[in-house]
């Protein structure tokens, strides 16, 4: 059996496995450093050159974070509630809107379809900073300042999500929709019972992308919110680490870095397989 195994496993394959394993471990180093950095005592935080692994783990950094957050006028749980609520509404709205748009652009024929797709492709080239002023004028003009709608509205029109959905739905055979129409199924039935289940990998990918963008966004809290109770956790931790000087600021930043990273890691671990399927089917390299 050992001889047969050696015959099947060539030297080049062993080298490839070792090389890819080394790359994987190298890519894990930032995550390992982030987890260890959050539990480092002060003397290890200021070591040079910095160490990856913590020698004497402590919860002092998280204690400092809780002390500073409890001293504020707005409780820490309010910022957390805002972030969770806004992320949930934004993800649901983007999934619904992008799936419907992708289905229509992929399986229906109508006037100006090519122009709409061209506009979506062009919008992918714009950096977020280039639309801050128009976005602010729209939000203020609609009277949405100091509301949750100001957090959600900028993310609903997501050209990346629409493009991914359209590319994924293109791979679904039109015979499925035609057979459903022959059986008397309505457009809503086809969309809810056929398209939504078949686009689960793309939905997972859009969920990850949208959640990361919404959870880490500070633009809405900075530009549209004057009430402190309407701001998000990302804005709070950014302001906290910037306004707390010296040693306390360093320890708080170490704890905050892990807290902001964990939800994104959990989302990715849950939907990673679906995300890979989306990239394979949509042709995105």
- 219: exposed, middle or buried (C-beta count within 10 Å: 0-12, 13-18, 19+)? middle
How far is Cα 23 from Cα 197, in angstroms, rounded to an integer?
35
Task: Provide the 10 A C-beta neighbour count for residue 97.
Answer: 18
Q: Which of 278, 224, 222, 244 has the alpha carbon at shortest distance from 71?
A: 244
How far is Cα 240 from Cα 66, in angstroms, rounded to an integer?
11
Residue range(s) occupied by CATH 1.10.3720.10 in the chain? 64-282
CB 180 within 8 A of CB 122: no
Q: What is the pLDDT of residue 4?
A: 53
How far is Cα 199 from Cα 216, in angstroms, rounded to an integer?
26
- 156: exposed, middle or buried (C-beta count within 10 Å: 0-12, 13-18, 19+)? middle
How far is Cα 230 from Cα 240, in angstroms, rounded to an integer?
16
For the stretch 67-118, pLDDT in tens is: 777 766 777 788 888 998 999 999 999 999 999 988 888 888 888 888 988 8
How far is Cα 260 from Cα 255, in angstroms, rounded to an integer?
9
Of the candidate CATH numbers 2.60.40.10, 3.40.50.300, 3.40.640.10, 1.10.3720.10, the domain formed by 64-282 belongs to 1.10.3720.10
For the stretch 204-252, pLDDT in tens is: 888 888 998 898 888 888 888 888 888 888 888 887 776 666 556 677 7
**Three-class SS of residue 63?**
helix
CB 215 within 8 A of CB 133: no
Read off the DSSP letter of residue 74. S
Considering the entire predicted model, what is its pTM? 0.78
Q: Which token pair is 154?
A: 């900028």
For the stretch 147-165, pLDDT in tens is: 889 889 888 888 888 988 8
The arithmetic mean of pLDDT across residues 13-21, rounded, is 85
Tokens 């992918």 belong to residue: 124
């Amino acid at each position: 059996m050992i001889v047969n195994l050696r015959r099947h496993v060539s030297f080049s394959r062993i080298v490839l496995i070792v090389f890819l394993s080394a790359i994987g471990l190298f890519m894990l180093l930032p995550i390992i450093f982030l987890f260890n950095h959050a539990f480092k005592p002060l003397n290890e935080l200021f070591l040079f050159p910095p160490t990856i692994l913590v020698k004497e783990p402590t919860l002092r950094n998280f204690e400092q974070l809780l002390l500073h957050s409890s001293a504020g006028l707005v409780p820490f749980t309010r910022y957390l509630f805002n972030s969770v609520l806004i992320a949930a509404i934004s993800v649901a709205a983007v999934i619904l809107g992008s799936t419907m748009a992708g289905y229509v652009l992929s399986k229906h024929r109508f006037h100006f379809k090519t122009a709409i797709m061209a506009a979506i492709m062009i919008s992918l080239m714009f950096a977020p900073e280039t639309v801050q002023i128009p976005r602010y004028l729209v939000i203020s003009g609609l009277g949405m300042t100091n509301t949750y709608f100001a957090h959600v509205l900028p993310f609903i029109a997501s050209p990346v999500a629409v493009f991914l959905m359209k590319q994924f739905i293109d791979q679904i055979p039109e015979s499925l929709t035609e057979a459903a129409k022959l059986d008397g199924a309505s457009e809503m039935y086809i969309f809810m019972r056929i398209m939504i289940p078949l686009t689960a990998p793309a939905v997972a990918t859009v969920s990850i992308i949208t959640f990361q963008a919404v959870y880490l966004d500070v633009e809405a809290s900075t530009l549209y919110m004057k009430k402190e109770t309407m701001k998000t956790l990302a804005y709070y931790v950014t302001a906290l680490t910037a306004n707390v000087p010296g040693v306390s600021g360093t320890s708080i930043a170490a704890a905050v870095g892990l807290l902001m990273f964990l939800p994104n890691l959990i989302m990715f671990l849950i939907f990673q397989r679906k995300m890979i399927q989306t990239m394979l089917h949509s042709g995105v390299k």
